[in-house]
Protein backbone atom coordinates (compact mmCIF):
# COMPACT_ATOMS: atom_id res chain seq x y z
CA UNK A 1 0.00 0.00 0.00
CA UNK A 2 1.35 3.41 -0.97
CA UNK A 3 -1.10 5.17 1.32
CA UNK A 4 -2.33 4.40 4.82
CA UNK A 5 -5.98 3.46 4.33
CA UNK A 6 -6.83 4.00 8.00
CA UNK A 7 -5.50 7.55 7.85
CA UNK A 8 -7.42 8.20 4.64
CA UNK A 9 -10.64 6.92 6.21
CA UNK A 10 -10.07 9.12 9.24
CA UNK A 11 -9.47 12.08 6.95
CA UNK A 12 -12.75 11.33 5.16
CA UNK A 13 -14.51 11.05 8.50
CA UNK A 14 -13.21 14.35 9.85
CA UNK A 15 -13.87 16.11 6.55
CA UNK A 16 -17.41 14.73 6.45
CA UNK A 17 -18.06 15.69 10.07
CA UNK A 18 -16.92 19.28 9.46
CA UNK A 19 -19.03 19.39 6.32
CA UNK A 20 -22.08 18.06 8.14
CA UNK A 21 -21.79 20.68 10.88
CA UNK A 22 -21.40 23.47 8.31
CA UNK A 23 -24.42 22.34 6.28
CA UNK A 24 -26.50 21.87 9.43
CA UNK A 25 -25.76 25.42 10.56
CA UNK A 26 -26.69 26.68 7.08
CA UNK A 27 -29.95 24.71 7.21
CA UNK A 28 -30.85 26.23 10.59
CA UNK A 29 -31.03 29.65 8.92
CA UNK A 30 -33.45 28.42 6.21
CA UNK A 31 -35.36 25.36 7.33
CA UNK A 32 -37.52 25.34 4.22
CA UNK A 33 -34.55 23.83 2.34
CA UNK A 34 -35.27 20.21 3.23
CA UNK A 35 -32.71 18.93 0.72
CA UNK A 36 -29.94 20.42 2.85
CA UNK A 37 -31.13 18.71 6.04
CA UNK A 38 -31.38 15.35 4.26
CA UNK A 39 -27.87 15.82 2.91
CA UNK A 40 -26.66 16.45 6.48
CA UNK A 41 -28.23 13.15 7.59
CA UNK A 42 -26.66 11.38 4.61
CA UNK A 43 -23.23 12.78 5.46
CA UNK A 44 -23.66 11.56 9.05
CA UNK A 45 -24.07 7.98 7.82
CA UNK A 46 -21.04 8.39 5.53
CA UNK A 47 -18.97 9.59 8.48
CA UNK A 48 -20.04 6.55 10.50
CA UNK A 49 -19.16 4.29 7.59
CA UNK A 50 -15.73 5.89 7.24
CA UNK A 51 -15.20 5.41 10.98
CA UNK A 52 -15.91 1.68 10.64
CA UNK A 53 -13.57 1.34 7.64
CA UNK A 54 -10.81 3.19 9.50
CA UNK A 55 -10.59 0.35 12.06
CA UNK A 56 -11.54 -2.79 10.11
CA UNK A 57 -8.05 -3.44 8.76
CA UNK A 58 -6.54 -3.96 12.21
CA UNK A 59 -9.33 -6.21 13.44
CA UNK A 60 -11.03 -7.43 10.28
CA UNK A 61 -14.30 -9.32 10.41
CA UNK A 62 -16.85 -9.97 7.70
CA UNK A 63 -19.53 -8.38 9.89
CA UNK A 64 -17.51 -5.18 10.27
CA UNK A 65 -16.84 -5.08 6.51
CA UNK A 66 -20.58 -5.41 5.84
CA UNK A 67 -21.47 -2.81 8.51
CA UNK A 68 -19.19 -0.26 6.87
CA UNK A 69 -20.81 -0.78 3.47
CA UNK A 70 -24.33 -0.78 4.94
CA UNK A 71 -23.70 2.65 6.49
CA UNK A 72 -22.27 3.98 3.23
CA UNK A 73 -25.22 2.69 1.22
CA UNK A 74 -27.71 4.33 3.58
CA UNK A 75 -25.74 7.59 3.32
CA UNK A 76 -25.68 7.41 -0.48
CA UNK A 77 -29.40 6.61 -0.57
CA UNK A 78 -30.21 9.67 1.52
CA UNK A 79 -27.92 11.81 -0.68
CA UNK A 80 -29.87 10.59 -3.72
CA UNK A 81 -33.14 11.49 -1.99
CA UNK A 82 -31.67 14.90 -1.13
CA UNK A 83 -30.89 15.49 -4.81
CA UNK A 84 -34.47 14.60 -5.77
CA UNK A 85 -35.72 16.99 -3.08
CA UNK A 86 -33.49 19.72 -4.51
CA UNK A 87 -34.78 19.16 -8.04
CA UNK A 88 -38.49 18.62 -7.43
CA UNK A 89 -39.14 20.22 -4.03
CA UNK A 90 -40.88 17.01 -2.92
CA UNK A 91 -39.14 13.65 -2.59
CA UNK A 92 -41.03 10.91 -0.70
CA UNK A 93 -38.82 8.79 1.52
CA UNK A 94 -40.40 5.45 0.58
CA UNK A 95 -38.52 4.98 -2.74
CA UNK A 96 -35.23 5.85 -1.03
CA UNK A 97 -35.87 3.32 1.74
CA UNK A 98 -36.88 0.67 -0.81
CA UNK A 99 -33.81 1.08 -3.01
CA UNK A 100 -31.43 1.40 -0.07
CA UNK A 101 -32.86 -1.69 1.61
CA UNK A 102 -32.56 -3.60 -1.68
CA UNK A 103 -28.91 -2.52 -2.03
CA UNK A 104 -28.02 -3.46 1.55
CA UNK A 105 -29.83 -6.79 1.22
CA UNK A 106 -28.16 -7.57 -2.11
CA UNK A 107 -24.67 -7.25 -0.63
CA UNK A 108 -25.73 -8.65 2.75
CA UNK A 109 -26.54 -12.08 1.34
CA UNK A 110 -22.99 -12.89 0.11
CA UNK A 111 -21.50 -11.31 3.24
CA UNK A 112 -23.77 -13.57 5.30
CA UNK A 113 -22.51 -16.60 3.36
CA UNK A 114 -18.92 -15.65 4.08
CA UNK A 115 -18.30 -14.49 0.50
CA UNK A 116 -17.09 -11.06 1.53
CA UNK A 117 -15.26 -10.53 -1.77
CA UNK A 118 -18.51 -10.99 -3.70
CA UNK A 119 -20.33 -8.89 -1.11
CA UNK A 120 -17.82 -6.07 -1.56
CA UNK A 121 -18.23 -6.25 -5.34
CA UNK A 122 -22.02 -5.97 -5.04
CA UNK A 123 -21.73 -3.17 -2.45
CA UNK A 124 -19.36 -1.16 -4.64
CA UNK A 125 -21.64 -1.57 -7.65
CA UNK A 126 -24.68 -0.53 -5.59
CA UNK A 127 -22.78 2.50 -4.23
CA UNK A 128 -21.82 3.50 -7.77
CA UNK A 129 -25.42 3.11 -8.94
CA UNK A 130 -26.77 5.36 -6.16
CA UNK A 131 -24.08 7.95 -6.82
CA UNK A 132 -24.70 7.95 -10.58
CA UNK A 133 -28.44 8.34 -9.86
CA UNK A 134 -27.63 11.33 -7.62
CA UNK A 135 -25.47 12.85 -10.36
CA UNK A 136 -28.35 12.42 -12.81
CA UNK A 137 -30.79 14.19 -10.46
CA UNK A 138 -28.54 17.24 -10.24
CA UNK A 139 -27.90 17.14 -14.00
CA UNK A 140 -31.65 17.32 -14.64
CA UNK A 141 -31.89 20.48 -12.51
CA UNK A 142 -28.91 22.24 -14.14
CA UNK A 143 -31.07 25.03 -15.61
CA UNK A 144 -31.37 26.58 -12.14
CA UNK A 145 -27.64 27.26 -11.76
CA UNK A 146 -25.73 25.65 -14.66
CA UNK A 147 -22.11 25.91 -13.48
CA UNK A 148 -22.32 24.82 -9.80
CA UNK A 149 -24.91 22.14 -10.54
CA UNK A 150 -22.84 20.80 -13.44
CA UNK A 151 -19.79 20.62 -11.16
CA UNK A 152 -21.82 18.91 -8.44
CA UNK A 153 -23.07 16.34 -10.95
CA UNK A 154 -19.53 15.71 -12.19
CA UNK A 155 -18.18 15.21 -8.65
CA UNK A 156 -20.87 12.67 -7.86
CA UNK A 157 -20.15 10.89 -11.14
CA UNK A 158 -16.40 10.83 -10.42
CA UNK A 159 -17.05 9.36 -6.97
CA UNK A 160 -19.34 6.75 -8.54
CA UNK A 161 -16.61 5.85 -11.02
CA UNK A 162 -14.11 5.30 -8.18
CA UNK A 163 -16.49 2.79 -6.57
CA UNK A 164 -16.90 1.09 -9.96
CA UNK A 165 -13.13 0.75 -10.13
CA UNK A 166 -13.13 -0.93 -6.71
CA UNK A 167 -15.65 -3.47 -7.97
CA UNK A 168 -13.58 -4.00 -11.13
CA UNK A 169 -10.35 -4.59 -9.16
CA UNK A 170 -12.07 -7.19 -6.99
CA UNK A 171 -13.52 -8.88 -10.05
CA UNK A 172 -10.09 -9.02 -11.66
CA UNK A 173 -8.62 -10.55 -8.49
CA UNK A 174 -11.35 -13.18 -8.67
CA UNK A 175 -11.30 -13.89 -4.94
CA UNK A 176 -14.89 -14.14 -3.70
CA UNK A 177 -13.84 -14.83 -0.11
CA UNK A 178 -11.27 -12.40 1.27
CA UNK A 179 -8.83 -13.16 4.06
CA UNK A 180 -8.88 -9.51 5.13
CA UNK A 181 -9.67 -6.00 4.01
CA UNK A 182 -9.31 -5.30 0.25
CA UNK A 183 -5.87 -3.91 -0.54
CA UNK A 184 -5.42 -2.72 -4.13
CA UNK A 185 -4.86 0.30 -6.33
CA UNK A 186 -8.60 0.98 -6.72
CA UNK A 187 -9.12 1.27 -2.96
CA UNK A 188 -6.44 3.97 -2.79
CA UNK A 189 -7.98 5.86 -5.69
CA UNK A 190 -11.42 5.58 -4.12
CA UNK A 191 -10.23 6.97 -0.77
CA UNK A 192 -8.35 9.92 -2.30
CA UNK A 193 -11.24 10.74 -4.65
CA UNK A 194 -13.69 10.61 -1.74
CA UNK A 195 -11.71 13.19 0.24
CA UNK A 196 -11.64 15.69 -2.62
CA UNK A 197 -15.15 15.13 -3.93
CA UNK A 198 -16.73 15.19 -0.47
CA UNK A 199 -15.19 18.58 0.17
CA UNK A 200 -16.17 19.86 -3.27
CA UNK A 201 -19.73 18.55 -3.06
CA UNK A 202 -20.14 20.15 0.36
CA UNK A 203 -18.89 23.53 -0.82
CA UNK A 204 -21.08 23.42 -3.94
CA UNK A 205 -24.15 22.30 -1.97
CA UNK A 206 -23.66 25.23 0.39
CA UNK A 207 -23.25 27.55 -2.61
CA UNK A 208 -26.45 26.22 -4.19
CA UNK A 209 -28.29 26.69 -0.92
CA UNK A 210 -27.12 30.29 -0.54
CA UNK A 211 -27.83 31.21 -4.16
CA UNK A 212 -31.32 29.67 -3.95
CA UNK A 213 -32.03 31.61 -0.76
CA UNK A 214 -30.85 34.81 -2.44
CA UNK A 215 -33.22 34.17 -5.37
CA UNK A 216 -36.09 33.42 -2.98
CA UNK A 217 -35.48 36.64 -1.07
CA UNK A 218 -35.34 38.61 -4.31
CA UNK A 219 -38.53 36.97 -5.53
CA UNK A 220 -40.26 37.71 -2.22
CA UNK A 221 -39.22 41.35 -2.48
CA UNK A 222 -40.69 41.52 -5.99
CA UNK A 223 -43.90 39.58 -5.36
CA UNK A 224 -47.16 40.62 -3.75
CA UNK A 225 -47.66 38.06 -0.95
CA UNK A 226 -51.47 38.10 -1.10
CA UNK A 227 -52.01 37.52 -4.83
CA UNK A 228 -48.68 36.13 -6.01
CA UNK A 229 -48.49 38.81 -8.73
CA UNK A 230 -45.55 41.12 -9.25
CA UNK A 231 -45.63 44.15 -6.99
CA UNK A 232 -45.20 47.82 -7.89
CA UNK A 233 -41.43 47.74 -7.35
CA UNK A 234 -40.99 44.77 -9.67
CA UNK A 235 -43.12 46.36 -12.39
CA UNK A 236 -41.14 49.60 -12.28
CA UNK A 237 -37.84 47.74 -12.19
CA UNK A 238 -38.87 45.95 -15.35
CA UNK A 239 -40.45 48.77 -17.34
CA UNK A 240 -39.78 52.06 -15.62
CA UNK A 241 -36.04 52.59 -16.07
CA UNK A 242 -36.07 53.75 -19.68
CA UNK A 243 -38.37 54.93 -22.44
CA UNK A 244 -40.69 52.36 -23.99
CA UNK A 245 -39.95 51.06 -27.46
CA UNK A 246 -43.62 50.71 -28.39
CA UNK A 247 -46.10 49.56 -29.28
CA UNK A 248 -47.10 48.84 -25.70
CA UNK A 249 -50.31 49.17 -23.72
CA UNK A 250 -51.05 49.56 -20.02
CA UNK A 251 -54.29 48.54 -18.31
CA UNK A 252 -54.92 50.05 -14.89
CA UNK A 253 -57.72 48.34 -12.93
CA UNK A 254 -59.40 49.37 -9.68
CA UNK A 255 -62.08 47.35 -7.87
CA UNK A 256 -65.32 49.30 -7.47
CA UNK A 257 -66.49 50.22 -3.95
CA UNK A 258 -63.85 47.95 -2.45
CA UNK A 259 -63.74 49.92 0.81
CA UNK A 260 -67.40 49.04 1.40
CA UNK A 261 -66.56 45.33 1.12
CA UNK A 262 -63.88 45.68 3.78
CA UNK A 263 -66.09 47.78 6.02
CA UNK A 264 -69.18 45.58 5.70
CA UNK A 265 -67.74 42.07 5.40
CA UNK A 266 -64.28 42.39 6.92
CA UNK A 267 -60.73 42.40 5.57
CA UNK A 268 -60.63 38.60 5.20
CA UNK A 269 -63.48 38.79 2.68
CA UNK A 270 -61.72 41.70 0.98
CA UNK A 271 -58.56 39.62 0.67
CA UNK A 272 -60.59 36.80 -0.92
CA UNK A 273 -61.94 39.26 -3.50
CA UNK A 274 -58.45 40.54 -4.29
CA UNK A 275 -57.12 37.02 -4.75
CA UNK A 276 -60.00 36.04 -7.02
CA UNK A 277 -59.62 39.14 -9.17
CA UNK A 278 -55.89 38.47 -9.47
CA UNK A 279 -56.61 34.89 -10.53
CA UNK A 280 -59.13 36.07 -13.13
CA UNK A 281 -56.70 38.63 -14.50
CA UNK A 282 -53.77 36.18 -14.56
CA UNK A 283 -55.84 33.59 -16.41
CA UNK A 284 -57.08 35.99 -19.08
CA UNK A 285 -53.76 37.79 -19.57
CA UNK A 286 -51.85 34.53 -19.93
CA UNK A 287 -48.60 35.01 -21.79
CA UNK A 288 -49.79 38.20 -23.52
CA UNK A 289 -48.57 40.54 -20.80
CA UNK A 290 -47.30 41.16 -17.29
CA UNK A 291 -49.92 41.52 -14.53
CA UNK A 292 -49.09 43.19 -11.20
CA UNK A 293 -50.72 44.47 -8.05
CA UNK A 294 -49.76 48.10 -7.48
CA UNK A 295 -51.25 48.27 -3.99
CA UNK A 296 -54.60 48.14 -2.25
CA UNK A 297 -57.29 47.31 -4.80
CA UNK A 298 -55.30 48.68 -7.76
CA UNK A 299 -53.83 46.38 -10.42
CA UNK A 300 -51.98 46.87 -13.69
CA UNK A 301 -51.22 44.88 -16.82
CA UNK A 302 -48.44 45.78 -19.23
CA UNK A 303 -48.95 44.44 -22.76
CA UNK A 304 -45.75 44.68 -24.84
CA UNK A 305 -46.47 44.75 -28.56
CA UNK A 306 -50.19 45.42 -28.08
CA UNK A 307 -52.13 48.15 -29.85
CA UNK A 308 -55.39 49.84 -28.86
CA UNK A 309 -57.67 47.10 -30.19
CA UNK A 310 -55.88 44.28 -28.38
CA UNK A 311 -55.73 46.25 -25.12
CA UNK A 312 -59.42 47.20 -25.25
CA UNK A 313 -60.44 43.63 -26.05
CA UNK A 314 -58.46 42.17 -23.17
CA UNK A 315 -59.70 44.85 -20.78
CA UNK A 316 -63.31 44.13 -21.69
CA UNK A 317 -62.74 40.38 -21.19
CA UNK A 318 -61.36 41.02 -17.70
CA UNK A 319 -64.17 43.42 -16.80
CA UNK A 320 -66.95 41.16 -18.05
CA UNK A 321 -65.50 37.98 -16.54
CA UNK A 322 -65.09 39.55 -13.12
CA UNK A 323 -68.53 41.17 -13.16
CA UNK A 324 -70.12 37.79 -13.98
CA UNK A 325 -68.07 35.89 -11.45
CA UNK A 326 -69.72 34.65 -8.27
CA UNK A 327 -67.14 35.48 -5.62
CA UNK A 328 -67.02 32.96 -2.79
CA UNK A 329 -65.58 34.49 0.36
CA UNK A 330 -65.42 33.70 4.06
CA UNK A 331 -68.37 36.08 4.47
CA UNK A 332 -70.40 34.25 1.81
CA UNK A 333 -70.98 35.01 -1.90
CA UNK A 334 -70.28 38.59 -2.95
CA UNK A 335 -70.61 40.61 -6.13
CA UNK A 336 -67.92 43.07 -7.23
CA UNK A 337 -67.04 44.93 -10.40
CA UNK A 338 -63.93 46.60 -11.75
CA UNK A 339 -63.19 49.81 -13.63
CA UNK A 340 -60.29 49.82 -16.10
CA UNK A 341 -58.27 52.59 -17.68
CA UNK A 342 -56.23 51.92 -20.82
CA UNK A 343 -53.36 53.84 -22.36
CA UNK A 344 -51.41 52.91 -25.49
CA UNK A 345 -47.99 53.98 -26.73
CA UNK A 346 -47.59 53.40 -30.46
CA UNK A 347 -43.97 54.48 -30.89
CA UNK A 348 -40.68 54.92 -29.03
CA UNK A 349 -39.81 57.73 -26.68
CA UNK A 350 -42.61 57.69 -24.12
CA UNK A 351 -41.78 56.72 -20.56
CA UNK A 352 -43.57 54.08 -18.51
CA UNK A 353 -44.61 56.58 -15.85
CA UNK A 354 -46.20 58.78 -18.49
CA UNK A 355 -48.14 55.85 -19.91
CA UNK A 356 -49.22 54.78 -16.43
CA UNK A 357 -50.37 58.35 -15.70
CA UNK A 358 -52.45 58.34 -18.88
CA UNK A 359 -54.03 55.01 -17.86
CA UNK A 360 -54.74 56.51 -14.44
CA UNK A 361 -56.51 59.47 -16.07
CA UNK A 362 -58.60 57.01 -18.10
CA UNK A 363 -59.37 55.01 -14.96
CA UNK A 364 -60.53 58.16 -13.18
CA UNK A 365 -62.84 58.88 -16.11
CA UNK A 366 -64.27 55.34 -15.92
CA UNK A 367 -64.98 55.81 -12.21
CA UNK A 368 -66.56 59.23 -12.85
CA UNK A 369 -68.80 57.88 -15.59
CA UNK A 370 -70.40 55.16 -13.45
CA UNK A 371 -67.80 52.42 -12.79
CA UNK A 372 -67.83 48.86 -14.14
CA UNK A 373 -66.56 50.08 -17.49
CA UNK A 374 -63.45 50.68 -19.57
CA UNK A 375 -62.14 54.07 -20.51
CA UNK A 376 -59.31 54.44 -23.02
CA UNK A 377 -57.09 57.50 -22.85
CA UNK A 378 -58.54 60.03 -25.29
CA UNK A 379 -61.33 57.56 -26.21
CA UNK A 380 -64.13 56.34 -23.89
CA UNK A 381 -65.76 52.95 -24.23
CA UNK A 382 -68.82 52.35 -22.01
CA UNK A 383 -69.56 48.72 -21.14
Q: How confident is the model at residue 308 (pLDDT cuts 50, 70, 90)?
A: confident
**Does 230-381 match 5-222 at the fold level?**
no
Distance CA 14, CA 11 (A): 5
Tell me the average pLDDT of the chain: 86
Under CATH, to which class is 5-222 assigned?
mainly alpha
Q: If you average pLDDT over residues 193-198, what whole number do you get?
A: 84
Which is higher by pLDDT, 361 or 212?
Answer: 361
Neighbours of 327 (CB within 10 A): 19
Q: How confident is the model at residue 1 (pLDDT cuts 50, 70, 90)?
A: very low
Query: How many residues are there in the chain?
Result: 383
| 279: helix, strand or coil | helix
What percent helix, strand, coil does the chain show, rounded to 5?
Answer: 65, 10, 20
CATH domain 230-381 topology: Alpha-Beta Plaits (3.30.70)
Q: Where are the domains of the chain?
A: 5-222, 230-381
Q: What is the pLDDT of residue 242?
A: 62
User: Does the pLDDT of residue 327 top 80, yes or no?
Assistant: no
Cβ burial, residue 19 (10 Å; 0-12/13-18/19+): buried
Phi, psi of 283 (to 5 degrees): -65, -45
Residues 134-166: pLDDT tens digits?
999 999 998 888 999 999 999 999 999 999 999
Distance CA 289, CA 309 (A): 15
Cβ burial, residue 366 (10 Å; 0-12/13-18/19+): buried
pTM for this one? 0.69
User: Does the pLDDT of residue 290 top 50, yes or no?
Assistant: yes
Q: How confident is the model at residue 109 (pLDDT cuts 50, 70, 90)?
A: very high
Cβ burial, residue 242 (10 Å; 0-12/13-18/19+): exposed
Contact 297, 255 (CB under 8 A): yes
Q: What is the pLDDT of residue 74?
A: 96
Amino acid sequence: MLLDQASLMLAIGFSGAALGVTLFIAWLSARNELFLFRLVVGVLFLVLGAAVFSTYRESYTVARHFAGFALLLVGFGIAWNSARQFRTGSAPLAPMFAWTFAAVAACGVPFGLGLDGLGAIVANIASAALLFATAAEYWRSRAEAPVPILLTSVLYAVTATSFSLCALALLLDGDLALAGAPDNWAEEINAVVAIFTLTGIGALSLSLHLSRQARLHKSAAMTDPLTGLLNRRALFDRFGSESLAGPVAVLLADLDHFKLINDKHGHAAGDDVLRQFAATMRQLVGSQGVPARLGGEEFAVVLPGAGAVEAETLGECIRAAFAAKGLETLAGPLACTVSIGVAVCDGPGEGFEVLLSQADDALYAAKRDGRNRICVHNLQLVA
